[in-house]
Structure 1
Amino acid sequence: MDDGFREIAGVRTRVLTVHGTGTPILLLHGFSDHAPGWRALLPVLEARGHAALALDLPGFGRADRMRPGPVMPQLAEFVEDAVRRVAAEQGPPLVVGNSLGGAAVWAAAQTSRLPLAGIVAIAPAGFGFTRRVRLGRRILARTPAALPVPILPMPVLRFLLVRGYAHGAGVGRRLDPAVADSWIAQFSRRGDLRDAAGLVARVLHEIDEVRELPVPAYPVLMVWGTRDRLVRADRPVPGTESIRVAGWGHCPQLEHPETLADLVLEFGSRLPAAQPRPA
């Protein structure tokens, strides 16, 4: 697996890459996650003959920070440029986006004639939240500023963050220690936590707008897990294919990489061509 950096849409970002000859697969992580969150899936795709790459989205992992202003247009610009670069080098990709990554490719795919084979949106943000998250959003709406950072020693905060990440992802104590170490490395300073808290508020302010966008004019598979503690589709999305997978949480790439690869590649095998369907 290659680990390096590239500039995409003016953003310097980390890229994890595996090689193959099949349809290239572009992997986009969710909020607070980063490219190494796909480390379990990448070698599975490579073993099955597909080139794949995972990126740090702007503002996450080791990518440049976001600019001031709305978040979703920046993510859409980044994903659109990433798709075009992959298509120019390897052919139109199948984009797999988890949570915020799913929302980002949905926004990017509003662009007509994007060289995009299709979209797999895993628990995409913006299409409905669980009751617990809806309650949390109402509380945050009454908070005048971004989430405060608790006054606790950093080792304690980092421990609690890892537990929260594992719980939200749906893997609990089954989280791979290497994945946990890589994820928490993003938050080595208290300032990193303040930045993340501010970004939470910005994303939540915009995320509901995603469902109001037209359905992308490309084949779309929406994947929902029955054990997802964060998002839940509150109504069907016409023009898309949808599946609910028993036992999956919010981030199945952490716990079910083989089964997720089966699902992604089966959908990819049915894609007619890398051209948008009529709107």
Structure 2
Amino acid sequence: MIGERRARYAGYGTRELFVDGRGPKLVLVHGFGHPADCWRPVLQRCERAGQAAVALDLPGFGAADALAPGLLIPQLVRFLDAAVREHAGSGSVVLAGNSLGAVTAVQLLDSVPGVPVSGLVALDMAGEHWAPLVRAVARGNWTLLRLLAALPAPTRLRVRVGDVFAGMMLYGDRRALDPELVRHLSSQIGRTVSANGLIEVGILFKKEAESLPLPTRIDCPTVIVHGRKDRLVAPATSRALHAAIPGSQFLTLDGIGHCPHLDAPDTVTALALDLVAAAGRSEPA
């Protein structure tokens, strides 16, 4: 059974979902606009495998505390640093992050020395290269999205449109679509204030992600994954990350969208558990 609890890291209150089991623990970090719940398919598979794992609500998302004014990504890095050290205990963890979560994990490993991380799975990391749809919207100065968010449409219609949009953006294979998770995102789009706020934070995140240099200090085993049907981030971002991390593995997945842990949870879980197994063999008994 997946448990739920409150926690506090680096001064931010948050909610985390977890399953008990063997270590090293797998720490799962969601993407922009998501809660920790997006990792439920992976947590379920970890539970069946007897693997300890935890998924966190990042500050500003889900049931976590709000972000403070200022730069977004440095706050998330401080939060994740504290969470990783807590969950590592006297050992280490394996990190898996999607999109914004992958950016946060990469920045943590590249900028903070001595982080107890023995493996990294980076899924469709955001960065310099974006898919045509995102580039087109950005060229219009985000005007279209702002106008849509401000429309006085009935809540039911707005949520329905949000359902369709979120499903299309997140999944490559609509047969794998999780209506409950999609509705969580749609409910934010369904409230005008939340929709506008989400858009503005997304614009800031995009600018920050584009300005980050490629990592130069990551030396733990790393697997980089990109879905071929990602409609948000171009594969060039993951290829650049692969080139920047010596010895990293790069996989592209046919028919998979921006969130491989939703489209292909068996594959993502297997990749993460391989890193966990390797980390377990290298840690002292």
Compute the TM-score of the two structures, normalised by the length of structure 2: 0.87
1:106 alignment counterpart: 106
CA deviations on 1:86-138 (whole Å, 9 max, x unpaired) are 1127x311010001100011111121111111110000111522222222222
Shift of 1:186: 4.6
CA deviations on 1:160-214 (whole Å, 9 max, x unpaired) are 1221111111243642223233444455632221221220121112111234343
1:79 alignment counterpart: 80
2:146 is aligned with 1:147: yes
2:177 alignment counterpart: 175
Q: Which structure shows the higher helix fraction?
A: 2
Map residues 119-138 of structure 1 onto 2, 5 A cutoff.
119-138=120-139
Bigger drift between 158-167 and 265-274 goes to: 265-274
Shift of 1:263: 1.9
For 2:28 and 2:175, the matched residues in 1 are separated by: 25
CA deviations on 1:209-245 (whole Å, 9 max, x unpaired) are 2343435232221111111111123243232321112
Match of residue 229, structure 1, among 217, 228, 231: 231
5+ residue gaps, structure 1, are 275-279
Match of residue 196, structure 1, among 192, 195, 198: 198
**Cα pair distance change 1:251/1:108, threshold 3 Å:** same
SS in structure 2 opposite 1:212?
coil
Look up the equivalent residue of 1:179 and give its one-letter code.
L
Contact 2:27 2:93 in 1 (8 A): yes
SS in structure 2 opposite 1:120?
strand
CA deviations on 1:38-59 (whole Å, 9 max, x unpaired) are 1111010111121101111111
1:205 alignment counterpart: 207
Contact 1:24 1:93 in 2 (8 A): yes
Look up the equivalent residue of 2:157 and give its one-letter code.
V
Look up the equivalent residue of 1:177 and give its one-letter code.
P
Contact 2:37 2:181 in 1 (8 A): yes
For 2:16 and 2:162, the matched residues in 1 are separated by: 24
Contact 2:16 2:54 in 1 (8 A): yes
For 2:122 and 2:59, the matched residues in 1 are separated by: 19
Runs of 4+ with deviation above 4 angstroms: 185-188, 271-274
SS in structure 2 opposite 1:140?
coil
SS in structure 2 opposite 1:67?
coil
5+ residue gaps, structure 2, are none
1:55 alignment counterpart: 56
Please give the root-mean-square deviation of Cα atoms over the aligned residues, in Å: 2.2
Shift of 1:255: 2.5
Compute the TM-score of the two structures, normalised by the length of structure 1: 0.89
1:217 alignment counterpart: 219
**Cα pair distance change 1:134/1:214, threshold 3 Å:** farther
1:268 alignment counterpart: 276
For 1:207 and 1:174, the matched residues in 2 are separated by: 28
For 1:130 and 1:189, the matched residues in 2 are separated by: 27
Matched length: 271
